[in-house]
Structure 1
């Protein structure tokens, strides 16, 4: 592919999601849905824009997640800046991936997550109870607080440690090729959260195991012989994915509703649509817009585009989720959409293990906000919303200012 056809790194930092979706549409319409991009800078890298190729890419054994298959310079960068991130299932292939995923899969089965729903409802109501009786709030504070409280409680982590965990998670959810200062902050966050979790594991072992997730993982480690490094790395992954993804789901979903008042009123009047609404939010404005890096283990082709060995491949879930070949009228938000085969949580062996928890949190959050905050609406024009565009794979709002006429009691049914 000619150098002039290569997409710049700025493709991943468009000024707003609308521009991103327009750019994705141009990519899908350009003929070949696989295009070269200079990201990470200096590496052979490609984006996959259509649904069919994305679906195949998720399960193609030639596209590896194993760190050892990446170029030497990239491995060294990862090992130097964020070693705590490269010892879990997200950076492994089978059979190593199968072994590491088994460490957490038993804790995140949908049945177990459904049992958490009453407690998630209580936490949601407690957070809203602290809102003023009327006025304005930043809904992103709610969006981040809810999943962080849930994951901390699920892990058995003291809630007073939430701000520090959130700060570490912010840096660790980025990537190690931004700039020197970001790399320094990434290393500090990596070292800090590793020390914290090593101490937490030691404390839990000495004080006795309970029913929290850390105890469940420690029991699994004893049964299957997982290393302490693997336990720590897995916990880091769960903390990052366990709050940022759900926070973006809530923020992006509410923003989508504010942009589509008919859908907001439909969900307010029919809260039983929450399940299909959550799936549509995940499709329409996914909290993770591209997959984590995959690397070609051999010279190969994707949709007729040659990918060299050690070439990076970015699967654009946000683009695949708007592909008209896979979805009818894909740019329309429809919270009643049936057979919603979106790729927001990936597909195949690396399907997001925390998806059941995120879905349950969304299932509680959206109808509760609409039920309890009468007259809820966006407090600023849509074009004044601040979106986060960094070098991570997620995309969400910096803030979501809203206003409402009254905060209703948790047991009030508005009708």
Structure 2
């Protein structure tokens, strides 16, 4: 990942390129295609199965929205989908069927932070939703074509791999001897293979229902080249949190029910670790968790299955600067008082966000700068007192320091400071400056 993540909450804005969809098309892909653009310019010219060459769009990704590319297939076709950002842009995408079902997701399988996936698709209409990984504005290209068409991205190792049923990330190198593709967990997991209970030989809780074990969390650990599928059973509906940790391995986790139906997937949540939160109770039954490593399948990945904790989730959002805490004292916030013209604050900052609140008494411009003199990589996030995101900045100029500027109205504002790499606390100097219009 070359662009530093704050959240995958970002959605992206549709570039107005091409005619608006007719009324009958507004419900495409469960509504996700309502503001989509046909990648060939029209529905008739967006059939990848018959296209003479790949089809491509320039995507303007703005904050808090998504760019949706629409295409059709008139016959079963192996399709390659790619999204590549300009500069430091880091795109990710979801592929949806006509009824809105997510068929696959990808973040970095194109190499150099580009997204890429290849899969066999049946005839129909599809929506490819492209977003910016950290929510920042991004300009990029979306390309959709058949495997014989020229690729936009190099892939992780330059060699495409068939995605099979369309679940999972895009390209990988030589997978070696896969062994038995049934329940053998010793040969690694072929990306795109559906995970059902026939593949599972290793279980959380030894195969017994885990309901009574979730309070303290259930943990297992193994490399993907030894165990790629883990099973667990629930005797009653349970909301769950599933984590996979080892950034050097770069894990991806995908959850399926006992029949192999896709339920949820996550690649990068905090850094390169992964997290799935099932806030609605998962029904009683058997489940299969597929694990992949995008970097090194020989490294152990620590998996934890535990009960979903709404309070812990809220705290995690505050600690990651993904939401602003209330100013009622329930979460630590340093109150700086009225911001006059200039204020300096020194902070020993880590990956856990430090929060500051300041007040402005008239409309104007606020500039906030975080400086580490090359020792750290600070991220600044600004919210108003209602909790609405105002702006965010990671890297400014030619270094990893941060600077954000925002027009403000009278009121209270909260700013979060965190280091992208939380391994070592870094002395960070914060500078607040306020400017008001001249009379």
- Relative to the length of structure 2, the TM-score reads 0.25
Greater per-residue strand proportion: 2
Structure (1 or 2) with the larger CA radius of gyration: 2
> Normalization by structure 1: what TM-score?
0.26
**Structure with more helix by fraction:** 1
